[in-house]
Structure 1
Amino acid sequence: MTPPTPVQRSFQLWIAAVVVGVVGSALSLATATTAPSPLAATGGLVGVVIGLLFLGVVVYLALRLRAGDHWARLALTILGGISAVFTVLGVLLTAGLGVSIGVVSTIVSLVQAALIVAAILFAFQGPANAYFR
């Protein structure tokens, strides 16, 4: 059975979020390699590796979502929801504390969060719900 349009859109948005995440990781890696200390650079590199592994899991789950696996939709909703909430809270917290993480990094983070929220919403539209039953 071919996935309905909302499931296809959700899949595309998840992949777009991953692409934005890879760009964000590349920016973080560039920042980590110019860190003032080796410990900071190592910490940044570890963060990038963990982030890329997480993005790999998201790609796998998005493929399972497109194949109609209800568990993948739930897993993406939980992981994506947590990610979007923490991204927005992180941006607000750093701004509130007067810490600058960079305009580009902030924009990348917020775009990724918006893509995730949109992907979750598409995954729960009427035709998508019928597909997962």
Structure 2
Amino acid sequence: MTPPTSVQRSFQLWIAAVVVGVLGSVFSLATSATVPNGYLAAGGIVGVIIGLLFLAALVYLALRMRGGDHWARVALTVLGGVSAVFTVVGVLLTAGLGVSPGGVSTIVSLVQAALIVAAIIFSFQAPANLYFR
């Protein structure tokens, strides 16, 4: 069965969120602080690797969701919802504490969170609900 438009849109938004996340990781690596010998700080690299693994998991789940697996839609909702909430809370906390992670980094994070929220909304529209039954 072909997925309805709402599921296709959700899938596209998940992929867009992943692309934004990858671009954010590349930007983060390119602008991260270096230690005196010129190598990137190990913590930054580990963070980027964990982030990329998370993004790979989102791609896998999005593919499964598009294929009609209800459990993948639920997993995406939980992981994406937690990610979006932590992103927004993190931005608000850093702004409230007067810490500036950088304008580009903040914008990338908020765009990614918005894409995730939109993807979740599309995955629960009426045609999508029928598709997953």
Tell whether the structures are fold-level matches, with TM greater than 0.5: yes
TM-score w.r.t. structure 2 length? 0.95
Matched residue, 2:130: 130
Instruction: Find the counterpart in structure 2 of residue 5 from structure 1.
Output: 5
Aligned to 2:104: 104
Deviation at 1:47, TM superposition (A): 0.2
- The amino acid that maps onto 1:77 is T
Residue 35 (structure 1) aligned with residue 57 (structure 2)? no
Alpha-carbon distance in 1 for matches of 2:130, 2:6: 11
Q: How does 1:112-123 map to 2 (within 5 A)?
A: 112-123=112-123
2:129 maps to a residue whose letter is N
Match of 1:70 in 2: 70
Moved more, 68-77 or 37-46: 37-46
The letter of the residue matching 1:56 is: A
State the distance in 1 between where 2:92 and 2:36 align. 27
- CA distance in structure 2 between the aligned counterparts of 1:87 and 1:24, rounded to whole angstroms: 13
Deviation at 1:35, TM superposition (A): 2.9
Q: Does 1:79 align with 2:79?
A: yes
- The whole-number CA distance in structure 2 between the counterparts of 1:23 and 1:6 is 26
The unaligned stretches of length 5 or more in structure 1 are: none
Give TM-score, length-normalised by structure 1: 0.95
Structure 1 runs (4+) greater than 2 angstroms displaced? 34-40
The amino acid of 2:63's aligned partner reads: L
The equivalent residue for 1:47 is 47
CA distance in 1, matches of 2:30, 2:45: 9
Give the 3-state SS of the residue equivalent to 2:83 in structure 1: helix
Distance 1:59 1:119 in 2: 13
- 1:68 Cα deviation (Å)? 0.3
The alpha-carbon distance between structure 1 residues 37 and 127, as it changes in their structure 2 partners (threshold 3 A), is farther
Give the 3-state SS of the residue equivalent to 1:68 in structure 2. coil
In 2, Cα distance between equivalents of 1:36 and 1:16: 33
Q: Give secondary structure in 2 for the equivalent of 1:3.
A: coil
Output the CA distance in 2 between the equivalents of 1:91 and 1:37.
Answer: 29
Q: Tell me the distance in 2 between the aligned counterparts of 1:74 and 1:28.
A: 30
Identity, in percent, stands at 77
